Amino acid sequence: MRTVIFDLDGTLADTSADLIAAANACFAGQGLGMPLDPRADAATAFRGGRAMLRLGFARTRPAWSETDLEAQYRQFLDFYGQAIDRQTRLYPGAARAVQRLGAAGYRLGVCTNKPEALAESLLVRLGVRALFGSLVGADSLPTRKPDPAPYVAAVERAGGVVDRSFLVGDTITDRDTARAAGVSCALVTFGPEGRGVARLNPEALLDHFDGMFDLAERLLPGRAVGGGD
């Protein structure tokens, strides 16, 4: 079964503004203002909550500790869960591209370092959860990306096999995950780094979801009929 696994943040959807708003709410609650910028710090947002908190603490309270960070991370998840889709949008053509792949027999899944419950909630709110046969989040297994186990689980839970699959992502984490799993990786160029992700040497670049189907046919050649091949 030919299978395509997608990252979520920065790949299927631009979640950066809502992520940064949640992190800024943590800092504001400590009287530290709002040190993160929704545009300038979007790339950090796609690296996760802890990355944003580290950056904000570095700008406002250099003497912070990992204990401080973990306490605020729990608060960050609460803030984010309460306003998970206020500004988040699917990237243009994403839903249409996933639908076309599914109609052609591809098995589809999501592998993300967002906690599973939050990823589930967001995909439902965006109206695309039913398009994916699997969802593996940061806490679904004992390990997370770039360990290959979550990717393998996403493929298998979608009904596919790893050696007939590839990963679509946006960061070095996705590049390293694919390499560890022994599969190809396509990186999107419509994130904060643009075509700068080419430096990571993925097997393919995706400039727009309109090109997703042709890219899949190139990376996984073969005719997908009925249940796929």
Active site residues: 7
Domain count, the chain: 2
Last residue of a domain, one of 82, 103, 120: 82
Q: Report in angstroms the alpha-carbon separations of 9 from 54, 110, 204, 220.
A: 19, 10, 19, 24
- % of the chain surpassing 70 pLDDT: 97
CB of 18 closer than 8 Å to CB of 52: no
Are residues 61 and 174 located together in one domain of the fold?
no
**Widest pairwise Cα distance in the chain:** 59
Are residues 122 and 214 located together in one domain of the fold?
yes
pLDDT at 223: 56
Are residues 36 and 95 located together in one domain of the fold?
no
- pLDDT tens for residues 144-191? 999 999 999 999 999 999 999 999 999 999 999 999 999 999 999 998
Residue 227 lies in a domain: no
Q: Report in angstroms the alpha-carbon separations of 135 from 74, 115, 124, 167, 193.
A: 22, 10, 12, 13, 26
Last residue of a domain, one of 65, 82, 99: 82
Are residues 58 and 102 located together in one domain of the fold?
no
Any bridge partners for residue 6, and if so which?
110, 168
pLDDT at 62: 84
The whole-chain average pLDDT of the chain stands at 95
pLDDT at 222: 79
Report which of 171, 130, 135, 132 is spatially closest to residue 150, judged by C-alpha positions: 135
Task: For the chain, list residues with pLDDT below 50.
Answer: 224-228
Residue 101 lies in a domain: yes
